[in-house]
Structure 1
Amino acid sequence: MSKLKMAVIGLGHMGRHMIHRLLPQYADKIELVAICDSDASSLEREVAEAGIRPRLYTDYRQLLDEVSMDLVYIAVPPSLHYDVARIAFDKGIHVFCEKPLANSLTEARSLVELAEKANRLHAVHFSLPLDPAVLKLQGLLEEQAIGPIHRMDLFLEFPQWPRAWQQNPWITSRQQGGYLLEVGIHWIQMIQQLFGPITHVKSDIEFPPDSNQSESRVQAVLRLHDEIEIHLSGTDQREEEERVSLVIHGAEGTLALENWRNLYQGGKDTGLQPVSVDDVVSPLPILKQIVQILNGESGIIYDFHDGYNAQVVLEALRKPGEGFTDVRPQLMGIKR
């Protein structure tokens, strides 16, 4: 079986993670044929550290025009996702894109249409629903471990934004950055996968005086199709350590997914206790699933439709109306 030819466009945190951590695990299945980044010195440094010799580009258009490949990984800032993916689909290339899918809902919908027309694989790098702790959480919910769900609380609370390891020019911008776009979208998409569509959004959002800066505080309610409400609390001024968590309150107890991967369970009259996830077999990473699919095997990915539906909710949070906004007319595959 011949190797899949893959290019990486963008050497930010996720692009570096791809070439240093993920791709070496699949060296027998994937050939990294090219890398692009606007910073030539970063290109040279990263490939030297990785001990690889792909073709190097500072212009993604030139790369996509000159290099033959099966798959492109898009890890550039969100404002460039649309253009890179558009060109890739036009050339018949499969696309693996970082989140959020696009820089606007209009772009996201257009990308779904382009992906369908190209009939190529289209995946967004959503991995949270397949994390062992989330799979364990899903199993406990299916077993009715805490009885019927009454409500949920979602915490996106940071002592500062950006976090220390996220220093780049766009991560704090109102157009492309902020913790809702960067972090919240993971949780929105995971909630949509586990609990069904979010149909109504009510948001109270505060921005700094500088119109270029991303949100500082968010208080919102996300209402699921079955009327269960998720109360969202977001801030970049938390006095304690970062908290990124989902707490699910049921008639018979509570489940809490704290700081991404720590799962806890408590009864009506007992405190929260850690839940082991050592027995859970996860299909991650998503790259593994993509390789399987492109080799004609079964696999699990979240496609551009999933990315678009998550972005619908995200945009309602960032641009609130009066009271609850009914987002059902915008969602793909959802009946009113």
Structure 2
Amino acid sequence: MIHIGIIGLGAIGQRLIKQFIEQDKVTITAVCDRNESLARETSEQLGNVQAYTDYKQLLANTQVDLVYVAVPPKFHHAIVMDAIHAKKHILCEKPLANSLEEAREMADAAKEARIVHAMNFPLNYGQAATKFAELINDNYIGKLRRLQLSMHFPEWPRAWQKNDWVGGRDQGGFVLEVGVHFIQQTLKLFGELYNIQTRLEFPEDPTLCEKGIIATAELADGTPVLIEGISGQAGKEHIGFTAYGLDGVLTLEKWGELRGGKTGDDIKTISLEGVLTPRLIDELLKAVSGEEAELYDFEVGYEAQKVLEELRKER
């Protein structure tokens, strides 16, 4: 049995609670949030588990084996470093840190401490992204011609994620919050990105995050990569991650839909029936038990952070 402590109980922190509960070899032992009423309410919903407003008190709880860090990126470094010193296994939200230097220190410290350290990159555990990877590896599209990520938002922050940081320039914005998932997929499936050039559009208020991005990069073989996004526009939200090849096209849309087609044919929805995927919580359990597991660790988070920092540079 693994005892989990959750630090940060906002919209993101609440998402994995159901998955934790569904795994019978995992139990949520403690929760923590600076909002005392939210910590107490979540504790009651979970059967009156221990509730804290100070994360250091949660880390001092000897029952807790693993902590899920679901606070804003600005606080990842301090909490993760304290968790490492407390010898707790860690699942951290993305992006890993608020700077490349912080990310490097966290990855090195976790490795040295020999604890389980994982990032929550949920696409890796979804059917659509799994099938996308399978088809890419099976050469469905042939030689890759172009990779493109498009992110369009009628408003940012979106209605369900209004808070005091996700729309800020310091640690928010859709490039960080949404783009990081597909940057990680790019690095996983296609390798490192080179020659990153970016053009950002910002509002007049210097505290607010980007309103638009047009960025280009290259894979090791020179294949072009285009990353474009915009917020504050008509229409519905659209997120598309598309691989164009000589023999076909594959596109991952709306997080969980896959469309594709061979050159000369129409692009159609690709069935996900029968696609088997691991579950993050199951893989965490394996890793803590000393078994081989499919996890994406802090080193993966660091590599994604390198790209993010280049994309967000104000030139």
Q: TM-score, normalised by structure 2?
A: 0.96
Deviation for aligned residue 1:172: 0.5
Q: 1:194 to 1:130 in 2, by over 3 A?
A: farther
Q: Deviations over 1:95-122 (max 9, x none)?
A: 1100000011110011011112211111
In structure 2, the residue matched to 1:64 is 59
* Change beyond 3 A, Cα 1:223–1:320: farther
Superposed displacement of residue 83, structure 1:
0.7
The Cα shift of 1:282 comes to 0.4
Alignment partner of 1:22 is 2:16: no
Q: Which runs of 5+ in 2 are unaligned?
A: none
Paired position in structure 2 for 1:289: 283
Q: Distance in 2 between matches of 1:71 and 1:294?
A: 9
Q: Secondary structure at the match of 1:160?
A: coil
Partners of 1:272 and 1:166 in 2: how far apart?
32
Q: Deviations over 1:160-198 (max 9, x none)?
A: 001111011111111111001111000000111011111
CA contact (8 A) 1:71 1:93 kept: yes
Letter in 1 for 2:194: T
1:299 maps to what in 2?
293
CA distance in 2, matches of 1:154, 1:51: 39
Q: 2:96 aligns with which of 98, 101, 126?
A: 101
1:30-62 residue CA offsets vs partner (Å, 9 max, x unmatched)? 2222110000111122233x2422111101122
Q: Equivalents in 1 of 2:194, 2:299: separation in Å?
A: 16
Equivalent residue for 1:39, pick from 35, 42, 46: 35
Matches within 5 A, 1:266-281: 266-281=261-276
What secondary structure sits across from 1:33 in the alignment? strand
How much has 1:242 moved relative to structure 2? 0.6
Alignment equivalent of 2:302, drawn from 301, 304, 308: 308
Number of corresponding residues:
315
Report the Cα distance in structure 2 between the residues aligned to 1:162 and 1:125, rounded to whole angstroms. Answer: 20
SS of 1:35 mapped into structure 2: strand
Once residues 47 and 100 of structure 1 are traced to their aligned partners in structure 2, the CA distance between those partners, rounded to angstroms, is 27
Q: Percent identity?
A: 37
CA contact (8 A) 1:129 1:193 kept: no
Unpaired runs of 5+ residues, structure 1, are 322-336
Per-residue deviation, 1:90: 0.5
| Displacement of 1:268 | 2.2
After TM superposition, which residue ranges in structure 1, 4 or more long, deviate above 4 angstroms?
A: none
Normalising by structure 1, we get a TM-score of: 0.90
Residue 67 of structure 1 deviates from its aligned partner by 4.2
Matched residues in 2 for 1:229 and 1:34: separation? Answer: 47
Report the 3-state secondary structure (helix = DSSP H, G, I; strand = E; otherwise coil) of the residue aligned with 1:154: strand
For residue 242 of structure 2, what is the aligned residue in structure 1? 247
